[in-house]
Structure 1
């Protein structure tokens, strides 16, 4: 019997070894062998009979578990084997919670202890109730966004979507008794950072290794974070390579849109919000990395996540709400879709790594795109200070480019009503605000429209 996750050797008995038994009970069970040295050689125990009498009661009284204690012999030496089964409820040693992982024992504290206790009681972090927050304190804009998206997805009935905030939250399983859950606050509160530090996205552009040139923070409800992160990366942090097919301009970004969108959604939905660290997206001249704290499902490996697998989200209530909105599928295909989109574009596969609670996804930019860009980040100057709009992206006009159906409809609405808002356009065209935002960005880049004046009080001007 080799020392492993389920086997531990000790030369003699000490009462502190009850911690090891506690770790076995909280994990997958195991055997503690008393009378072997650290190389597994039997050295025997001199008080085997007394241990046989004392240990079962001591283990029961201190840990509250039943252990199988037996006398065995090896090479003529008396050994004591203590076998402990895995327990469905958490087991403590004098108020401490220990856990066996690999061939080591760890005392669980902080966020790790919270996750362990929730899992043992069949709960998830995002389903825990939050005192002191009422439905009326949530964001009207976040509810409006969800209702529009869910209407298009047809994953909720019209009656459900027309109901009150309270009834909608009930349908989405975001209420626990009289309390809203953590998921409800993250999804629908305008400032969830007030309750959960680190529940935002940080984006930075880096040159020469670790030198940050500029950065942005994206806060707000999770729907806003997901949409604005993708928009900002495309509008400010990435430059498209420009080619022409006849008179039509073709823009190729270094990361396919759907792959970027899936990666951002994956980070937001599966993030470990108890870790109190933001999602961090680092953009370089030749690559982009997305980092978020997270946890592997029990008994899963990073290799299994990269392959086709069942859906087992870390935050199931957050994932369910994004599914109802139509933003994701609930088939465990998020990572698979990222690989498919990159493959379809002829781009390199992203590198996805997991290490001790950290997820990291890296997109290496394809050489063909970098060659077209000529290594230049922008065509006109450097960006301003952190948080300012990056203005060097995609200079030039459309040169006879044909407009798609949605783009043409956007231009027509702006011509008829220059002060029309993005939500109004989205409602008239039955599209998401995110889709309209991207269309408008494209029209501005192509020199077809421009914004005159501020966001509030300004108007649209159609240039051609």
Structure 2
């Protein structure tokens, strides 16, 4: 818009589609009107123009631009809003904010809906707001399909290529895609429309934290005790794309879930077993990333570890056709975010549609762990994995002793039955079919490391004694 078109527009006067504001001191009121235009026929707000149509202009600094962007970001859902800075005399500008409506009303600003009546902006009635909601619900237009103004440079291109590599390996993406460039990959995954990135693309591949997507976050905490009233042992907030959040959650779990270590009879190799089935917990995290309600910008995924359980919560309740009881039996897959879920499936992170919760249950049963519990509260879905035993706050990994060999038992008996300190030569004489002295020395060192005997002296003068108890 140039100065001539600006003056022509101002001559029309304030109306149902045009509003004047003297300065950005009225920015909040101006954004309410932008929201009202989105809920109506669209319109333009001019900042730097008096109610009488006099052009005063406005000083524009980087801070001014940030303030305007901050207020516009409070409008939900994401909308088509254009901001122009039109230069006038004396280095001042008139700021033109143009709102273009679509079929995804109602829009809210700072959590409240507004409407335009002639040249007046007012709060929308509850009844009218609910009518808009019903109409929008009938459109069945998913949040992930909305277009953004971000470019491909905002995305992690290595992660995009990794999707193709994983998909080819899983035979879910044709090998011919190996040479695709990022924009071709995004088209293949239906993450582009009219040359613009869909919001699903940002969720999946954002290179860094973006102000427009604060909901791309996971809260992780290790609480001391059985509830949130206990102290934090660790508390983390991580922002980023879905694959980054999954990686960070995996790392957090590895730091705070103990590993039980044990030995099987006749085996010297230690076996490490996590306190929960890793794949079951990972399945719950993937479900949360794929099925959460991303339209709520103030919500996030929450992962909490207590002394007796692990809980994963995501905002967004179950679809109307699925109940909590259905989660424990075969059921239809009704993903809230089909594009996001499709990419996870292509990478082999989802095996089959509608089997995630059943897989969690089967994995827990196989390891003899309690079945996961599912519940809904505060507008979200919770999955709880209970531990067989409380892990405590200072509990160390469980490392049972491997069984002693018959020879080690005999050596231990020789030492414990002696009233004197014992040399290795005496042990060799009392053993039936003694092995080499080196093998006996290995057995003695093992018994010492297990705290069963103690060593006195070094070298040829080494003596062995039973451990005081």
Residue pair 2:218, 2:245 contacting (<8 A) in 1 also? yes
Q: Distance in 2 between matches of 1:261 and 1:302?
A: 20
1:84-233 alignment runs, 5 A limit: 118-131=136-149, 133-208=150-225, 209=227, 210=229, 211-233=231-253
SS of the residue corresponding to residue 156 of structure 1 reads coil
CA spacing shift, 1:255–1:115, aligned 2, 3 Å: farther
SS of the residue corresponding to residue 327 of structure 1 reads coil
Quote the offset at 1:116 in angstroms. Answer: 5.5
1:272-421 alignment runs, 5 A limit: 272-275=293-296, 276-355=298-377, 357-367=379-389, 370=390, 375=392, 377-379=394-396
Deviations 1:130-174 (A, max 9, x none): 12x112321123223323322221211122242111111111111
Residue number in structure 2 paired with 1:444: none
Deviations 1:216-274 (A, max 9, x none): 223322112113312331x2110112221131212222210110110110111111122
Q: Distance in 1 between matches of 2:276 and 2:133?
A: 34
Point out where structure 1 has 5 or more consecutive residues left out of the alignment: 1-88, 97-105, 380-392, 399-464
Residue pair 1:306, 1:336 contacting (<8 A) in 2 also? yes
- TM superposition score normalised by structure 2: 0.54
CA spacing shift, 1:189–1:118, aligned 2, 3 Å: farther
Q: Distance in 2 between matches of 1:121 and 1:311?
A: 20
Residue pair 1:239, 1:377 contacting (<8 A) in 2 also? no
Residue pair 1:90, 1:120 contacting (<8 A) in 2 also? no
Q: Distance in 1 between matches of 2:168 and 2:134?
A: 37
Q: Distance in 2 between matches of 1:354 and 1:108?
A: 29
CA spacing shift, 1:148–1:115, aligned 2, 3 Å: farther
What is the aligned length? 280
Residue pair 2:328, 2:361 contacting (<8 A) in 1 also? no
Q: Distance in 2 between matches of 1:107 and 1:365?
A: 48
CA spacing shift, 1:153–1:243, aligned 2, 3 Å: same
- TM superposition score normalised by structure 1: 0.55
Residue pair 1:272, 1:293 contacting (<8 A) in 2 also? yes
Q: Distance in 2 between matches of 1:240 and 1:141?
A: 32
1:237 corresponds to 2:259: no
SS of the residue corresponding to residue 202 of structure 1 reads strand
Quote the offset at 1:335 in angstroms. Answer: 0.6
CA spacing shift, 1:250–1:114, aligned 2, 3 Å: farther
1:9-158 alignment runs, 5 A limit: 118-131=136-149, 133-158=150-175
1:260 corresponds to 2:281: yes
SS of the residue corresponding to residue 270 of structure 2 reads strand
Runs (4+) off by over 4 Å: 89-92, 106-109, 112-118, 393-396
SS of the residue corresponding to residue 274 of structure 1 reads coil
RMSD: 3.3
Residue pair 2:219, 2:303 contacting (<8 A) in 1 also? yes
SS of the residue corresponding to residue 242 of structure 1 reads strand
Deviations 1:257-311 (A, max 9, x none): 1101101101111111222212111111221111110132233322223321111
User: Quick check: 338-347 or 295-304, which moved more?
Assistant: 295-304
CA spacing shift, 1:286–1:194, aligned 2, 3 Å: same
CA spacing shift, 1:162–1:113, aligned 2, 3 Å: farther
Residue pair 1:241, 1:252 contacting (<8 A) in 2 also? yes
1:270 corresponds to 2:308: no
CA spacing shift, 1:118–1:175, aligned 2, 3 Å: farther
